[in-house]
Amino acid sequence: MYGTIARLTAKPGALEVLHQELNQMETGRHPAGYLTSYVYQSDKDSNELWLVVMFENKAAYVANAESPEQDKEFRKLMQYLAAEPEWHDGEVVFASKAA
């Protein structure tokens, strides 16, 4: 598995609409190789969100990241963010879930 963890910071007053946009993005189209995504909201700062997205492999992740559809969604999202997201891409080397 391969994916990204991104730190997002909402513009003041934009948090509710950002939640709606993220929900729409993550429940809308599912590109080839997409597995799952999560959005965490920080306890310390409600405007700070952490987006986790996982794909079957790096090739599927890169294909999505470079697609015109993803670029369009990203540009739409940016209007609600205070700054460019902080991206951390990588291979999943360990995963655990309840039985």
Q: pLDDT, tens digit, for every residue of 22-56?
A: 888 777 678 999 999 999 999 999 999 999 999 99
Q: For the chain, which domains are there?
A: 2-91 (3.30.70.100)
> 52-74, pLDDT tens digit by residue?
999 999 999 999 999 999 999 99
Question: Helices 68-78 & 15-27, crossing angle to 10 degrees?
Answer: 170
**Which residues contact residue 70 at a Cβ distance below 8 angstroms, ignoring those fewer than 6 apart?**
31, 64
- pTM over the 0.75 mark: yes
